Chain A
Amino acid sequence: MSYAYLFKYIIIGDTGVGKSCLLLQFTDKRFQPVHDLTIGVEFGARMITIDGKQIKLQIWDTAGQEAFRSITRSYYRGAAGALLVYDITRRETFNHLTTWLEDARQHSNSNMVIMLIGNKSDLDSRREVKKEEGEAFAREHGLVFMETSARTAANVEEAFINTAKEIYEKIQEGVFDINNEANGIKIGQQHSPTNPSLPGAGNQAGSASSGCC
């Protein structure tokens, strides 16, 4: 399937905040959220449409790569968008945001769009970080904020798509140099029509199976 642009995303945040679950939830809707099952994956791609244009989002999780400095520093560059995730039921994951953000700001290109995500919003009873706190942090650091739940899929779509919209706007404004692939944006070629992307297939195949449980 051809696309107009490809945006590369990374997902950052402490371990266990549900990064790979968010990713899987977004890239492959056929995986129905089930309460006693945690499945995640660290790479995925999905096609979305913005402004009538096909845009492919390619998402890379950073899990397990924090041990080496060379890896973390390279990761941020080359991404057009970043989802900075914390767990609303674990205060420490919120406290570490500053460190993550510093790292991201230091190594990424200055145009990278960063979205702050408070994940696990379904676990409101165990909430340790107020929504207002997330909002305040986002305001202070100029981020877009959203609370999501990979379990219930609440706001997951929006988080990824809003980020994409912001990147798209920046392209329209000419802020991003789209000819420089190091910015995490690729202009699509008219190629690989034989490869329908996963979500497309998921919609066909999974539609009948969604009424379960």
Chain B
Amino acid sequence: MFRSRSWFGGNWNRPKNRLSLEHLKYLYSILEKNTTVSESNRGLLVESLRCIAEILIWGDQHDSSVFDFFLEKNMLSYFLHIMRQKSGGSSFVCVQLLQTLNILFENIRNETSLYYLLSNNHVNSIIVHKFDFSDEDVMGYYILFLKTLSLKLNTHTIHFFYNEHTNDFPLYTEAIKFFNHPESMVRIAVRTISLNVYKVQNASMLRFIRDKTAAPYFSNLVWFIGKHILELDTCVRTDIDHQSNQRLSNLVAEHLDHLHYLNDILLLEIDDLNAVLTEHLLHKLFVPLYIFSLTPAPPPTSLAVVTQNLAAVLNRPVDIDIQEINNPRVSSIVALYLLSLVFLVITHAPLVHALAWVILNGDHSVFKEGAAEILNAYVEHRLTVVPGFGEPRESLEQALETVGANSTSHSYDTDNIHNTLEAPVATSNAREVAGANAAESTSNTVTTEEQCAENDVCGISVETASAAAQAVLNNAKLANITDEEKEKIQKLVQPARAFNELNRPFLEMVLSALDCTENDYLALLSLCLIYAMAYNRGVKNDWFEQVLSQSAKGPYSYKTELIERLLHLITLSNQPSCRIRLITIEIALQLLVTFTKPCTDDACITEAQRDALFSARNQSMVVLRNFYKSEDIFLDLFEDEFNEMRKTNLNVEFLCMDSTILLPPTGTPLTGINFTRRLPCGEVEKARRAIRDFFLLRKTCQQFLNEKETLLPLTNTMNLVQVDNVLDLNNSDLIACTVITKESTKQRRFLVIDSLQLILVEPDAKLLGWGVAKFVGFLQDVEVVGDKDDSRCLHITVHRGGATHNRTPLLSAKFLFDDHIRCMAAKQRLTKGRSKARQKKMYQIAQLIEMPGQVIDSPVYAVAGLRAGSVASSSSRSSRDHRPILSTTNRVPGFAAALKRDTSAGGVCRIQMAQNRSIEGIRNESAGRPRRRNSNSSSHSSTSQNRDANSSPGREHSPRSSRDNSQSRSATRSRDNSPRMPRPRSEEIPLEDFQHSRNNSPHSRANSSHLNTPTRAHTPSRALNYEPIAITVHNSTPHDTHSPAPHHATQLNGVPIAKEVLVPVASSEETSFIGNEEAATSEQRRRGIIETV
């Protein structure tokens, strides 16, 4: 099979079969002959090592004799030998060696081969070898080697790496030495290795980890994290102007990595390990640094007293002490943020529970009296939550003994924290010692825990809480003074104790941070913390709320205070001058719902609080009314904000990954901060904010009322025609055209204009008079431009609504019509359809925000009111329609920017300008004002009346009123735009459809269905006038649901322009069963009437 030959001739006379046992034998001979690495044989050795890897993997997959040979000759020992030589560019050789080893261990599939490879201790010798780790590549291959090995760990292989008798576990101990390596990939690998090790279920190994390594490793890790936090804090303090945002976000991301790593360890649920880790985290980081930093430095009523007394007793200058107290402290912003992260990431119950307890129940008496006070309180509480909990007092004493016996270790520890600021490197020795001491103390802790509470996670909580309390003590530097002095101080501060007893400084701080009078800088983070605590799985069910509602502060519980503060924040958010970000409002509302539980049995909200919420919503409507129509693109903003809000769910965890919330709130978008996480900038953003604020409050109020949203979104997608729907186009207005796209493809289509949509149909092959929708787009997003060279041509663009990332329009094509007149008709319909679609939606918005004079005065027949109101109240409305961009810009500050950015805004203007040109002539016929006024005054009737009137006998009435609406509009336009006197105009489109669009009047629906059949039987002459389109699927009987509402037909240059009314889908469904059985499968069934313009 193999053809061997002399490989010694020439330089590299390789065998034909480089993958063969023969070749391996040859390579072995090379290793044998070149035991000393030198300049001359370096290349040869490297290539041999490389080939060995190749052959071994090939052998593993194809020929077992290869492996046998490798093991028989003990070739790994040669590797080791080469590795240990310092001469001859060993780093170069080492890289190859490590690569070979990696390839070997990564690619080997045969388990026996693996065992053989590991069976002698060579691998461990390689692990402990001191490579030149300053070389990037060596480091990379080495750590990868360890990682690869760690992936091979299981209950069997663990014995190859962990030696029970010698207490030796080089794979783990060597790896964790790099936990703080500057290269992030190395750190990640170390974390992977350690997690892979912990994962192995081997009691003896885990005991080794806990007893010999856990304390030093975790204390180092915690210390490293703490150091990192101080760095982060400095960054926050110095970066008021959002300058080093990148650096800050890296620090935050890095910190999150640490937290997730800790959580991953805790999630492995290795009890012993978790106890040690929990203790370390609480004891050395969370309580002494995070919690301690919550209250201002130095705490006025307790620490300052202590400090003063201490100073008096010891006769030392006060400054020094305060300085020392101040050292390990971060700003309260950072403290709140870090605590939020802890609760967002870590779910280990004993840890988060104890931490939550300290925040909710802890107080400064801890500093004066040690842990007795805090523990009594804690025990009381424990009894309520977990009845039958045994003898906590003992565990306290034991814990105190533990701490007392190891007081040196703690002073080392505090030294450490101080040293971090000055000389981090120098502290490594101290850390070692501290770690060793901590190991003793933790082993004690673990025993007591085992004794006192089997299977009770809370047992650990008690331990950790006492330890935490002790840590606070240490932090107050009491550990550095003798017991005698301590007693003296306690005597001195004794009187102050009673005063402070009810005080919960940490909880008070969190709650008082909710005050947004100035801004919401602290409030947002405080909300995050409350949210994180309330939603943390590790914090016991309802415990959080119970504590809040039980603990009384004066006449109110803390929960009441929290709710009041939330409501205050929400109320404040509608003040014009407030500096509260949207995200803050959103979380506050979410928390309000969480704590008051509306629409459940145990809802707890008082009438007054409810009223406060509703008046906040009403206030937000008032604010929004100011923006209604003050911006040209109000409708686009409104719909866009709604979609944005619907799209994004509140995710506090994601929010807290954003480091920018650590910096003072800013308004400028130049920082790149997401809109909801900063203050609005400029008029457009203020409008956006008002809209979103309204949405949020509306949604929350509906939750309290147990209502479903019925008016939003403005477009009911159920009513829309979809592509491929088959539509009954009998009697509807169709304009034939050829659609020429940018790629010059030509398609023959019929243009149909619905009340909301532009539809391009192609005749249905099976049913005469029916058509298949090939394209649909919203009229409100249509832009029409005439062609200056060809009067039969229109350039039509249908934009994508809203602020999608996809900026390419839905359709952009040249439409070629049969003749000039049809072209003009199409243009006018599109233009009118667009503005009507928009007006309709604006009316819906007016209804939503209860614009005065429109909804309240005449809730049903509000169309005329809206028109009149808009014309009368804001003349800007009409002028906006016709003024070119620049004049608009002058009127509204900040608007130009919005126009430039927002293409839909641009679209508005372009189309309007086009409209001006094209309609000018048409408009000459606009109706005279006298007539308009006349009908306006007479038009105040309810929809139902109007509808009734729509039946033939009353036809006269309705069209007039609707025409009035449009006429009033057009008249003002003309006034603005053209010096010509308005002429009677018959082409204006009546606006009855507004009534129907509201969709919420069953009455009108009923009417419409009644009147259906007659409509279908239109006489030809009427068909010409009204041209309804019924949209249905094949085979279903054409319905009826379009309202007959015959409108006054208008003639423009001989082209009939009629309108029909869109009937709500609900009614179509009511009647659909008439048609056929397929009603159930009405997925793509589209029914309803298309209104032609």
Contact = CB atoms under 8 A, between A and B. Distances in A.
B185 A34 contact: no
A147 to B, nearest CB: 24
A40 B106 contact: yes
Nearest to B16: A212
A67 B192 CA distance: 9
Contacts of A6: 136
A58 B151 CA distance: 22
B89 A74 contact: no
A190 interface: no
Interface in A192-207: 192, 194-198, 201, 204-206
Contacts of B264: 68-71
A163 B245 CA distance: 27
A195 B106 contact: no
B106 A74 contact: no
A41 B147 CA distance: 12
B539 to A, nearest CB: 20
B955 to A, nearest CB: 53
A39 B103 CA distance: 7
Contacts of A24: 103
A103 to B, nearest CB: 14
B58 interface: yes
A43 B102 contact: yes
B257 A45 contact: no
A208 B250 contact: no
A212 B14 contact: yes
Contact of B102 (A41, A195, A196): A41
Contacts of A65: 147, 188, 192
Given A42-B144, A194-B89, A212-B16, A8 B50 contact: no
B138 to A, nearest CB: 8
Interface string A28-39: 101100101111
B145 to A, nearest CB: 9
A78 B261 CA distance: 17
Contacts of B62: 36
Contacts of A77: 184, 250, 253, 257
B184 A74 contact: yes
Contacts of B89: 194
A203 to B, nearest CB: 11
A172 interface: no
B46 interface: yes
B808 to A, nearest CB: 12
Contacts of A4: none
A158 B257 CA distance: 33
B92 A196 contact: yes
Interface string A14-51: 00000010001000101100101111111111000000
B242 to A, nearest CB: 15
B195 interface: yes
Contact of A208 (B11, B140, B147, B247): B11
B12 interface: yes
Contacts, number: 144
B95 A198 contact: yes
B910 interface: no
A195 B191 contact: no
B1011 interface: no
B246 A39 contact: no
B250 A182 contact: yes
B61 A37 contact: yes
B142 to A, nearest CB: 10
A71 B91 contact: no
B260 A182 contact: no
Contacts of A212: 14, 16, 18
Interface in A157-192: 177, 180-182, 192
Given A180-B246, A195-B91, A209 B140 contact: no
B1029 interface: no
Contact of B247 (A30, A37, A180, A197): A180
B54 A37 contact: yes
Nearest to B47: A205
A30 B253 contact: no
Nearest to B15: A212
Central interface residue in B11, B96, B136, by most chain A CB within 10 Å:
B136
B148 interface: yes
B546 interface: no
Interface string B90-106: 01100110010011001
B54 A45 contact: no
A208 B12 contact: yes
B256 interface: yes
Contacts of B690: none
B404 interface: no
Contact of B192 (A71, A196, A198): A71
A91 interface: no
Central interface residue in A30, A60, A206, by most chain B CB within 10 Å:
A60
B327 interface: no
B11 A201 contact: no
A73 interface: yes
A34 B257 contact: no
Contacts of B95: 195, 198
A52 interface: no
B150 to A, nearest CB: 9
A160 B41 CA distance: 32
A177 B246 contact: yes
Contacts of A64: 147-148, 151, 192
A31 B54 contact: yes
Contacts of B192: 64-65, 68, 71
A148 B448 CA distance: 61
A195 B137 contact: yes
A117 B925 CA distance: 64
Contacts of B12: 205, 208-209
B144 A45 contact: no
Contacts of B96: 198, 201
Nearest to B11: A208
A101 B99 CA distance: 30
B141 interface: yes
A5 interface: no
A46 B865 CA distance: 74
A180 B249 CA distance: 11
A66 to B, nearest CB: 10
Interface in B236-277: 246-247, 250, 253-254, 256-257, 260-261, 263-264
A100 interface: no
Nearest to A110: B672
B636 to A, nearest CB: 25
A201 B246 contact: no
Contact of B99 (A41, A195, A196, A206): A41
A75 interface: yes
B493 to A, nearest CB: 43
A20 B147 CA distance: 15
A71 B150 CA distance: 14
Nearest to A8: B185
A206 B12 CA distance: 9
Interface string A111-133: 00000000000000000000000
B257 A195 contact: no
Top 8 closest pairs, chain A to chain B, by CB: A70-B260, A208-B12, A70-B261, A43-B144, A182-B250, A78-B184, A74-B257, A205-B47
Interface of B: 11-12, 14, 16, 18-19, 43, 46-47, 50, 53-54, 57-58, 61-62, 89, 91-92, 95-96, 99, 102-103, 106-107, 135-137, 140-141, 144, 147-148, 151, 184-185, 187-188, 191-192, 195, 246-247, 250, 253-254, 256-257, 260-261, 263-264
17 contacts: A36-B61, A37-B54, A38-B107, A39-B54, A40-B106, A43-B102, A44-B99, A65-B192, A70-B257, A71-B191, A73-B256, A73-B257, A74-B191, A77-B253, A182-B184, A195-B137, A201-B96
Interface of A: 6, 8, 20, 24, 28, 30-31, 34, 36-45, 58, 60, 64-65, 67-71, 73-75, 77-78, 177, 180-182, 192, 194-198, 201, 204-206, 208-209, 212-213
